[in-house]
Amino acid sequence: MKIVDLEPGDARLASEVLPVLRELRPHLTEESFSAVYAEGYGQGLRFTAAYDADGRCVGVAGWRVIANTSRLRKLYVDDLVTAEAARSGGVGQALLAYLEEAAVRQGCHCLDLDSGTRRTDAHRFYLRERMAIDAFHFSKPLGTP
C-alpha cells in the first residue's frame, strides 16, 4: 500500500480521492470539496490517500494539527474512510498508523476524531486500534450549509 499526501490543486483529489470520500460525505461535490480544501488548507487541513498495489485509491484521511487548551497540540482527523470494496483489508489501519506517526513528528500529544453515533462498525475499529471514547460531541445546526 502506498500512502500519499495531496496538496490543493492536485488532479487526483477530484478523480481519485473524492469518489472514496463521498462514501462518507455524499453531500460533497467537486466544487464544494475544492472550495473546502482551498479554505481549509490555510487552517491546516490536509488530505492523505491510500493506494492499493494496482494504483487504486482505497482510503482517504482528512486531518489537521490543532493547538487548543484541552489537548495543547493534537492531530485531529476530520475524515477517515476506506472504500467499501477495500474494507477489512488493513487500509484504515495503515492510514491511522500513518497519521499517528505524523502526529508524533509534529509534536502532538494525541490523535482525536469524532465518529457519528450510528457508525458502529467504525467504533469497533477505533476501539480495536486502542482508541478511547473520551468525550461527547455536541452540535447545533445554525442554518443550511
Which residue matches cell numbers 465518529? 115
pTM: 0.91
> Which pLDDT value is given to residue 31?
96
| Interval 12-40: pLDDT, tens | 999 999 999 999 999 999 999 999 999 99
Query: In 3D, which of 144, 125, 118 has the Cα closest to residue 77?
Result: 125
Band (143; pLDDT cuts 50, 70, 90): confident
90-96 long-range contacts (CB < 8 A, ≥24 apart) are 90/1, 91/1, 91/50, 91/52, 91/58, 91/59, 92/59, 92/125, 93/129, 94/1, 94/3, 94/50, 94/59, 95/3, 95/48, 95/50, 95/59, 95/60, 95/61, 96/61, 96/129
* 117 pLDDT more than 90: no
State the cell numbers at 37.
Answer: 480544501
pLDDT tens digit sequence for 40-78: 999 999 999 999 999 999 999 999 999 999 999 999 999
Of 17-31, 72-86, 92-106, 109-123, the poorest mean pLDDT is in 109-123
Mean pLDDT across 69-89: 95
Output the average pLDDT for the chain. Answer: 95
Say whether pLDDT at 145 is over 70: no
| Mean pLDDT (whole number) for 94-108 | 97
pLDDT at 144: 77
